[in-house]
Amino acid sequence: MRKYTKFLLIAILSLLGLNVDAQEIREVGFYDTPGRSIAVALLGDYAYVADYNRGLRVINISNPAGSGGG
């Protein structure tokens, strides 16, 4: 699933009218949920992840290289 993230990010930024060079995008961190993530909302320093039947995950994204989690 992670291999599609870069493509998806470029597509979303393009829809917003932002030009992004694919070579400049790099992963700085990730969080693997125990379920199957089906939706994500961002607000401030937090990502709210709907984790299918595992519930809602609140992940602190203020330090992408850190452990995150919540």
Write down the mean pLDDT value for the chain. 74
pLDDT in tens, 33-67: 888 888 888 888 888 888 888 899 998 888 766 65
SS (H, E, C) the chain: CHHHHHHHHHHHHHHCCCCCCHHHCCCCCCCCCCCCCCEEEEECCEEEEECHHHCEEEEECCCCCCCCCC
pLDDT on residue 32: 83
pLDDT for res 45: 86
Average pLDDT of the residues in 2-31: 66
What's the pTM value of the predicted model, to 2 decimals? 0.60
